[in-house]
Amino acid sequence: MKSSVKAALFSALVFPGAGHLLLKKYAMSALFAVTFSVPLYFMISELIAKAQQIVLQINKGEISLDIAAISAALTHSIAGVEGQALNSKMTVLLIIWLLAIADAYRLGRQQ
């Protein structure tokens, strides 16, 4: 398998920057990994905070222990402006990931 394809697959299937690591481009690997990891951390911590709020509401009896009620509460908690911000963060993460794939492929073709 060509190194360009292998690097692109590593970046696509493992983690952004993994393909650069395979090509021994350590600085670019670290750049893509950190650029992806930091927003991912904040997005996941925000989602965990929302889930904890719902768990507290279930424990207090405000939400019944029913799949439909929990799903409705989850949908309600991430609706509106917060939902749009979450979609924007996910879009940024997708763009970073696609850039890492394309750059790993480009670097692999150059070698």
pLDDT in tens, 59-84: 999 988 889 988 888 888 877 767 78
| pLDDT computed for residue 1 by the predictor | 81
- Which letter does DSSP use for residue 35 in this model? H
| pLDDT computed for residue 108 by the predictor | 94
| pLDDT computed for residue 35 by the predictor | 95
The answer to whether residues 105 and 5 touch, using CB atoms and an 8 Å cutoff, is yes
Phi, psi angles (nearest 5°) of residue 25: -105, 75
Residues 20, 30: Cα–Cα separation, whole Å? 9
Residues 105, 99: Cα–Cα separation, whole Å? 10
Angle at CA 21, nearest 5°, toward 15 and 22? 100
* Higher pLDDT among residues 82 and 7, named by residue: 7
**Domain ranges within the chain, ordered by starting residue:** 3-110
The answer to whether residues 6 and 108 touch, using CB atoms and an 8 Å cutoff, is yes
- 20-61: pLDDT as tens digits: 999 999 999 999 999 999 999 988 988 898 889 999 999 999
| pLDDT computed for residue 93 by the predictor | 95
In this structure, is the dihedral angle defined by the CA atoms of residues 31, 36, 39 and 40, taken in order, positive or negative? negative
Q: Where are the beta strands (DSSP E) in the chain?
A: none
